[in-house]
Amino acid sequence: MKVPFLDLKTPHQELEADLEAAFKRVLNSGWYILGKEVETFEAEFAEYCSVAHCVGIGNGLDAIHLLLLAYGIGQGDEVIVPANTFIATWLAVTYCGATPVPVEPDSATYNIDPLAIESAITARTAAIIPVHLYGQPADMDAINLIAQKHGLVVIEDAAQAQGARYRGHSACSLGNAATTSFYPAKNLGALGDGGAVLTNDNAVADKVRQLRNYGSKVKYQHDLLGYNSRLDELQAAFLTIKLRRLNAWNERRAEIADYYADKLAGCGIKLPYVPLWANPVWHLYVVQAEKRDELQNFLHQRDIETMIHYPVPPHMQECYTSSTYQGLPVTERLSRQILSLPIYHSMTLSQADVVIDAVRSYFQS
């Protein structure tokens, strides 16, 4: 039995009739940018995240970029980012003219290590962007405490964590503001690109609304040097439908994660660690193995697709080689040892068994 890494088809087949009706509604409305569909989705997703404002953006990277601009972050500023993250978190900082300052992860949770943040703070530090990596919330109380002490803005990058909870509170409601992405493979994915900014801060929400739409509040009146980055009506209509399934789909991911944890315990790989205060949404199920490449090949030979998130950390990418980043040993070691096993709501337990049996037989051989 083949076990694909991802399945983007089944969720949309399950919702085919609703998605087609939404498509026809938008088609026949004659209105495709910044209309009722975006307003409806923004209201429902803000409520889902327990925040006052959701602003739909063209993608998750632009959401971080525009939010940093709304806070006035730019040239001369430093922004603390996880060393271990998708490169978008760093790029958004670079776009503003500010400098990303990487902080190592806790090697059990993979998230930014609060104990390592304080020594990275300088007089130029303006903000911290914790990422809820792989769907698990970062340790936000510890991060917020440091930020308050030093007067820093906290921006959650919740691209991988829609629906996750930290001490009972929703991801996207835990800092000054948050961003997310609706890239198709995320837990809440569109049928194309999309993103959002979430916040309780009225002024920040207003500024992001202006920045996403050519710096304009009133048509053809441009107060800011704005951008064009708007969630479109069609994607918003699809997302409203998919949002209603998000909790059920996340619960199913959690069942598979529990099943993996139970059946893979003690077999030789390092399993994900979940702190008591975290309710992760299992965007990815990441394990560690010393001979990772060998294990990955073994699984691929058995038709089991796996991936690595991420094989080359941002500070080692060609585009950042002109900046002199110190070695980041934890991040570099993780990039050699992590492996993402398949996990998605349409995965069957027999598919999970195929993965489990293969991993176990790798360690027995």
Ligand X SMILES: *Cc1c(COP(=O)(O)O)cnc(C)c1O
Using the minimum distance from each CB to ligand X, give the nearer residue, 171 or 264: 171
> How far is residue 301's CA from residue 2's CA, in Å, rounded to a whole number?
10
What's the closest the beta carbon of residue 243 comes to ligand X, in angstroms?
A: 16
Using the minimum distance from each CB to ligand X, give the nearer residue, 59 or 340: 59
Q: Is 303 in a helix, a strand, or coil?
A: coil
Tokens describing residue 96: 């503003």
In the bound state, the residue with its beta carbon closest to ligand X is 60
- Check residue 147 for interaction with ligand X (CB under 6 A): no
Using the minimum distance from each CB to ligand X, give the nearer residue, 60 or 137: 60
Q: Is 339 in a helix, a strand, or coil?
A: strand
Give how far the C-alpha of residue 155 lies from the chain's centroid of Cα atoms, to the nearest Å: 12
What's the closest the beta carbon of residue 59 comes to ligand X, in angstroms?
A: 4
Using the minimum distance from each CB to ligand X, give the nearer residue, 160 or 210: 160
Q: Of these, 56, 60, 137, 226, which contacts ligand X (CB under 6 A)? A: 60
What's the closest the beta carbon of residue 92 comes to ligand X, in angstroms?
A: 8
Using the minimum distance from each CB to ligand X, give the nearer residue, 183 or 238: 183
> How far is residue 263's CA from residue 198's CA, in Å, rounded to a whole number?
38
Identify the H or E element spanning 128: strand 125-128
In this structure, the chain runs to a length of 365
- Check residue 304 for interaction with ligand X (CB under 6 A): no
The b-or-e profile of 305-319 (16+ CB within 10 A means b, else e) is: bbbbbbeebbbbeee
Q: What are phi and psi of 225, to 5 degrees?
A: -80, 90
Q: Is 246 in a helix, a strand, or coil?
A: helix
Per-residue interface string for the shown chain with ligand X, residues 112-131, x marking contact by CB under 6 A? -------------------x
Per-residue interface string for the shown chain with ligand X, residues 148-177, x marking contact by CB under 6 A? ---------x-xx-----------------
- Check residue 183 for interaction with ligand X (CB under 6 A): yes
Comparing CA positions, the residue from 269, 331, 271 lying closest to residue 298 is 269
Using the minimum distance from each CB to ligand X, give the nearer residue, 88 or 126: 88
- Check residue 136 for interaction with ligand X (CB under 6 A): no
Q: Considering only CA atoms, give the Rg of the chain.
A: 21
- Check residue 89 for interaction with ligand X (CB under 6 A): yes
Q: Of these, 109, 173, 181, 279, which contacts ligand X (CB under 6 A)? A: 181
- Check residue 340 for interaction with ligand X (CB under 6 A): no
Comparing CA positions, the residue from 172, 167, 163, 184 lying closest to residue 130 is 172
Q: Is 97 in a helix, a strand, or coil?
A: coil
What's the closest the beta carbon of residue 151 comes to ligand X, in angstroms?
A: 25
Q: Of these, 19, 26, 46, 61, which contacts ligand X (CB under 6 A)? A: 61
Q: Of these, 81, 88, 295, 354, which contacts ligand X (CB under 6 A)? A: 88
List active site positions. Answer: 186
Size of interface with ligand X, in residues (CB under 6 A): 15
Give how far the C-alpha of residue 324 lies from the chain's centroid of Cα atoms, to the nearest Å: 26
What's the closest the beta carbon of residue 49 comes to ligand X, in angstroms?
A: 16
What's the closest the beta carbon of residue 179 comes to ligand X, in angstroms?
A: 7
> How far is residue 261's CA from residue 284's CA, in Å, rounded to a whole number?
13
What's the closest the beta carbon of residue 361 comes to ligand X, in angstroms?
A: 32
Q: Of these, 195, 226, 280, 313, which contacts ligand X (CB under 6 A)? A: 195
CA distances from 156 to 53, 177, 189, 270, 303 (A): 15, 7, 18, 27, 36
Q: Is the peptide bond before 71 cis (omega within 30 degrees of 0)?
A: no
Q: Is the dihedral of CA 47, 50, 54, 60 positive or negative?
A: negative
- Check residue 338 for interaction with ligand X (CB under 6 A): no
DSSP 198-219: EES-HHHHHHHHHHHBTTEEET
Using the minimum distance from each CB to ligand X, give the nearer residue, 65 or 358: 65
Chain contacts with ligand X (rule: CB under 6 A): 59-61, 85-86, 88-89, 131, 157, 159-160, 181, 183, 193, 195
